[in-house]
Amino acid sequence: MIISEWVFWFSFFVIFYTLLGYPLIVYLIFRIDWLRYLIRIPEDAGKVFLNPNIAGPIVLNQRLKVKEFTPSVSMLVAAYNEEKFIEKKILNCLQLDYPVEKIEFIFVTDGSTDKTPQIIEKYSTENSHIKLLHQPTREGKLKAIQRALNFAKGEIIVFSDANSMYNRDAIKHLVKHFQFEKVGCVAGEKRVISQEGKTEAESIYWKYESFLKKLDSEIYSIVGAAGEIFAIRKNLIDKIPDNVINEDFVLTMNVASKGYRVVYEPNAYSIETPTKSIFEEFKRRVRISTGGIQSISILKNLFNIKEYKFLSFQFISHRILRWTLMPISFLLLFISNVILFTHSSSYFYEVTFYLQFFIYSIALIGLAFELIGIRIQIIYLIFSFLLMNFASVFALITYPFRPKTNIWKKPER
């Protein structure tokens, strides 16, 4: 009984802290001066200036040095069998508000067997700043990006996906922060279009993620960028192992570990459609969670709190707990609650058991509805949230047996 109570309350604490406690702590840093001054932001790092609507009156009144800052930019797009989206992506690139002579678009279509290379080639003959790289062998997104880096001429490298469309001013908003010497990476906002007026689970997740990134960015640095839209100084990009799954996360955390700030710019955003079904999203989340677990060993130096201080706190609170302890805690919370319900006379554990039983029953109803093509918003959101956490548990259990490769089947959209 005592062990079950410890497990119950420990699991509850992990879930609460990861979802609500950490964001609350970060928000309080905005409001309490002595807490804010514990964070030592590098000189010329831009300090706190991105979202005054979040931080309120304590935001430092620091202005950009140059209003129109336009360094040379190379956008890299790995486009494997993307004929469905590629023309729209090219047209989107051509419509971006950025000096033509200062930007180039490099598309890598390695291994593509559809018409993607031919579509890009057609536009590249008409636009000198559109470049095509193609080889018959598919070696994965990371190797495609690393190959493209050898041809990139820009000071700033923007990473994008073929199915992600940018707002017209996205590049300007991304690069303006590189005026500050200690800003090494800038992440944009990922937006998922809701279909038929319904709230998609993936869209809700990214809205929550965007909110957390605003908080992280305001006090110091975000921990990881959406792979669809982020920019890094070319001279800060390190070679990483060829089998890295979450290359966007590892690349950005490498920048942060060097003492540079990774900031969040919500005015630069990408738009894409959600995955075709919740089950496609499940497979995607398993892959991301697997990559997250893999990155723990790659970025193990960030556990050195003495050296990395607040960055280590962010890394553990925002990422490590979400990929490891929190998903397992949902399972442990229910199991321990069942034991306490059956062996304890406490009214509290009876209420929490019925509450959890009700939530999981709703999730099962959501699964049944999804199988027959019915979607009721609140039921779907509960189901999808628990499914995403189950994906993380599945990734943890199967991690030792899964191939560590960044070549995967794309989710249908």
pLDDT at 398: 92
Long-range contacts of range 116-123, CB-CB < 8 Å, 24 or more positions apart?
A: 116/79, 116/80, 116/81, 116/82, 116/83, 116/86, 116/162, 119/83, 119/86, 119/87, 119/90, 120/79, 120/86, 120/90, 123/90, 123/94
User: Would you give the DSSP letter of residue 132?
Assistant: E
What are the chain's domains? 52-274 (3.90.550.10)
pLDDT at 216: 85
pLDDT at 36: 57
- The tokens describing 114, both together, are 């559809």
pLDDT at 125: 92
Indicate the length of the chain as a whole number.
413
pLDDT at 33: 62
Distance of CA 332 to the CA centre of its chain: 26
Prediction pTM value? 0.86
pLDDT at 250: 95
pLDDT at 212: 85
pLDDT at 197: 43
pLDDT in 10s for each residue of the chain, 413 residues: 789 999 999 999 999 999 999 989 888 876 676 665 555 554 444 444 334 343 333 333 344 555 678 999 999 999 999 999 999 999 999 999 999 999 999 999 999 999 999 999 999 998 999 999 999 988 888 899 999 999 999 999 999 999 999 999 999 999 998 988 888 999 999 887 765 544 455 567 667 888 888 888 877 789 988 889 999 999 999 988 888 999 999 999 999 999 888 999 989 999 988 777 777 778 888 988 999 999 999 999 999 988 888 889 999 999 999 999 999 999 999 999 999 999 888 999 999 999 999 999 999 999 999 888 887 878 888 898 899 899 999 999 998 887 766 666 665 65
pLDDT at 99: 95
